[in-house]
Amino acid sequence: MKRQLLIFSALLLLSVGLGAAAHVINEQVVTDLYSTSLVLTATYLIFPVIIGMFLVRRIADLKTRYTANKAISILSIVFILVLCLRIWVTDTSSLIVSYGIIGAAIAFALQDLFKNFVGGFLIIISSMYRVGDRISIDDKYGDVMDIGIMNTTLMEIRGWVSGDQPSGRLLFVPNGFVMNHALYNYTRDHSFVWDEISIPLTYDSDWKRAKDLILGIIIKETSSMTKQADEEIERIGETYYLPKKVVDPSAYITLTDNWITLDVRYISDARNRRILRSRLSELILAVIEKEDKITISSTTVTVTTTKDTLASSKNKKQPDNN
């Protein structure tokens, strides 16, 4: 606060001195300098002192206060440039050209700032996401902690952590991203997602029994979430065009060159997908271990050798006596 008052006092003294000189020296340059000093003094009084010290300092949120200070700085510079050009450029045509060049430069320099501001406005008006939602944008994932004027703060999930769990880092996403990037909202109108687990079975396994056992586990463990998802789909169907979806767990068989793939599809809570997947995997492994006719397959490599290759290999291993 003392610093602002000192700067204002210095500008005021400069204006008084130039005003006195303008009355003594009848030169246009001195008059223009005096007018310029008045512009600087008035601008500093309006923006940094009155608006900055008495209005912006009352903003409690530090991030919003920082953004407001930046906006005041930009506005004060624009204000000074416009008025100083009016003082020093007397030709009307040149003045219009100068204003056009400055306007284009400002628009180019502030295009990202303007885009972020408009993006923040769109987010709030359209409710693309709200605080607490889990979203993904530009390959970034996180839970929304705050929606600011210029950017959105996320608690990052994934990152260096496997699965949909927090990494501990705060992720700041410019609001302008919503204007040219696809946005995924996991929890805006419902709380569930579909998930799948793939189990490779050997061709000599009893895949029918494996399907029945695993599907039975999935149905039992996800029954409450399945019921909730069915109710949520019924509700959001009143807002969107959403054909009736099958939310009951299901299993699908795929034949590959190496094994039989059993894919089980089920409903999971959007925030606990990794936890549920881990529990289901443990239960599936436990039941398969008890079955003699069910074997989980894995990638194998077959190496074929001939007598010539074996002989060549032996010759390479013999020591050189020379």
Whether residue 191 contacts residue 228, with contact meaning beta carbons closer than 8 Å, is answered with: yes
What is the arithmetic mean of pLDDT over 33-59? 82
Candidate from 111-125, 143-157, 186-200 with smallest mean pLDDT:
111-125
Percent of the chain at pLDDT > 90 equals: 35
Phi and psi dihedrals of 248, rounded to 5? -65, 145
Instruction: Give the distance from CA 285 to its chain's centroid.
Output: 36
At 79, the pLDDT band (50, 70, 90 cuts) reads confident
Candidate from 89-93, 204-208, 223-227, 229-233 with smallest mean pLDDT:
89-93
Residue 251's H or E segment, with its range, is: strand 250-255
**Distance between CA atoms of residues 156 and 153, nearest Å:** 9
Query: What is the per-residue pLDDT across 285-315, written as a single tens digit (0 to 9) for each?
Result: 999 999 999 999 987 655 566 656 555 555 5
Residue type, 208: K
Query: What is the per-residue pLDDT across 109-122, written as a single tens digit (0 to 9) for each?
Result: 667 777 888 888 88
Query: What is the per-residue pLDDT across 2-23, written as a single tens digit (0 to 9) for each?
Result: 677 788 888 888 888 888 888 8
Whether residue 123 contacts residue 147, with contact meaning beta carbons closer than 8 Å, is answered with: yes
Domain boundaries, the chain: 2-109, 125-185, 192-289
Residue 290's H or E segment, with its range, is: none
Residue 226's H or E segment, with its range, is: helix 223-236
The CATH class given to the 192-289 domain equals: alpha beta
Whether residue 78 contacts residue 69, with contact meaning beta carbons closer than 8 Å, is answered with: no
**Distance between CA atoms of residues 174 and 38, nearest Å:** 38
**Distance between CA atoms of residues 48 and 39, nearest Å:** 14
Query: What is the per-residue pLDDT across 220-270, written as a single tens digit (0 to 9) for each?
Result: 999 999 999 988 888 887 777 777 677 899 999 999 989 999 999 999 999
Whether residue 268 contacts residue 274, with contact meaning beta carbons closer than 8 Å, is answered with: no
At 322, the pLDDT band (50, 70, 90 cuts) reads very low
Sequence length of the chain is 322
Residue type, 61: D
The CATH number corresponding to 125-185 among 3.30.413.10, 2.30.30.220, 3.30.360.10, 2.30.30.60 equals 2.30.30.60
Among 69-73, 99-103, 115-119, the range of highest mean pLDDT:
115-119
Percent of the chain at pLDDT > 70 equals: 84
Whether residue 133 contacts residue 143, with contact meaning beta carbons closer than 8 Å, is answered with: yes
What is the arithmetic mean of pLDDT over 37-54? 82
